[in-house]
Structure 1
Amino acid sequence: MRAAMGLWRWRHNPLRRTTDLFEAWLALAAAVLVVTAGPAVGWITGALTEESLRQSVRVQCLQRHATTATVIGAASTPRPVAFDTEAAVNEERRAVRAKWAAPDGSTRTGTVPTALRTAGPGDTFSLWTDDSGRIAPRPMDMATVEVHAALAGVAASMAWGVLVECTRRLVVWRLVRHRHAALDRAWAAVGPDWGRTGAGS
């Protein structure tokens, strides 16, 4: 961006090189791409992510079923064999032995997590199962879908900006190498005669 601003200040400077002009236009083009295309990339990525997650939620809602479990007693193991990963984050969750009805009507028993503060025999709580009656995480809610989609959009927009800037820096690096090579060739041509009388220097 500084190169683009500098272009306006020294656009008529006789010391300006063609590569200086190219570098300034490159910086301006990169800035325009970041400002205009960046939000578009973020919005498209967020929209696609949201649609994909919504489809996953629809599938989860078809494959998972809410049911009511009844506490049988205290768990013999400190942690259930299959438990909700989201529930595991909540330290108040504890494992109990419980029974519940599978979608086909059969009764299942196992060690499951519960948010009940005092879980005694006969207490009930809600849980989710898959089609076979095994414990499954609850379907993702729409608020989580929107958060994930927004994060994906922001990340994509930032990645686009980094990609554009890295590309610009790579082109400038090659441009500088070209300048140095041109300077070396020019010096090699006039260097041996530098300062000699009548050599045109």
Structure 2
Amino acid sequence: MATTSRTKVTRAWLWRWHRSPLRRASDRAEAWIVLVTWLLALLGAVLAGVETAAAMERGMAENRAQARAVSAVLTDNAAESDTETDLGTVWVKVRWTDANGGAHTDRTKVDADAVAGSKVTVWVNRENELVSKPAARSEARLQAAVGGMLVALGAGAGVLVVGRLPRAFLERRRLVEWGEEWERVGPRWRKRMLG
């Protein structure tokens, strides 16, 4: 029966922070760059995400405050419209009256089977122009949360990518230093190996 020997591999976490004669100045610089990059990425992601979510929620709340539902009447049959959308609705002309008694007309999406004279609810702004139906509070919160998370991920990833640039410079510099050192040490090693 064959026995297998196990070799224990010890990893030195945070090795750039440990005192060691093998640690170079570039290792210390890289340790600081990594630390600062991660702190900025986390802080930037949180701040960008929270601010984006808050701005989106404020914007949608403003849309809700400015829009109001009014009853409108279809002036054409939906079946006669040639502007079908991908959701089975069509664009049809509607007419509504504002609070001052003024008549307005515009086009809105309705079901494809709607007939002229049918009443539909449309949303208008303060200038009595048609606008999209504003998002409900719960929907606005969800959209703001998703938007905030996406912006947070993008901001954090952007900082990490930018933080990688000085590390790449340090890596190139280390390779040059290693090459120079090998030019000095390599010939002595070869003599020992051959002689």
**Shorter-normalised TM-score: what interval?**
0.5 to 0.7
What residue number does 1:44 align with? 51
Q: Runs of 4 or more off by more than 6 Å in structure 1?
A: none
Helix, strand or coil at the partner of 2:83: coil
CA shift in 2, pair 1:119/1:48, >3 Å:
closer
TM-score computed with the length of structure 2 as normaliser:
0.66
Task: Give the corresponding residue for 2:96.
Answer: 100
Q: CA RMSD in A?
A: 3.8
CA contact (8 A) 1:23 1:172 kept: yes
Aligned to 2:38, which of 16, 26, 31?
Answer: 31
* Amino acid of the structure 1 residue aligned with 2:22: L
Task: Give structure 1 stretches of 5+ with no counterpart.
Answer: 81-87
Q: Which residue of 2 aligns with 1:85?
A: none
May I ask how many residue pairs the two structures share in their alignment?
Answer: 180
Whether contact under 8 Å (1:4, 1:25) holds in the other structure is no
2:82 to 67, 71, 78: 78
Matched residue, 1:5: 13
Q: What percentage of aligned pairs have identical amino acids?
A: 22
Distance 1:145 1:4, change over 3 A: farther
Unaligned 5+ residue runs, structure 2? 1-10
- The alpha carbon displacement at 1:43 in A equals 1.6
State the TM-score, normalizing by the size of structure 1.
0.65
Letter matched to residue 15 of structure 2? L
Where does 1:1-201 land on structure 2 (aligned, <5 Å)?
5-7=13-15, 11-58=18-65, 60-61=66-67, 65-75=68-78, 76-79=80-83, 90-91=87-88, 93-96=89-92, 98-108=94-104, 112-115=108-111, 119-130=114-125, 134-187=129-182, 190=184, 194=188
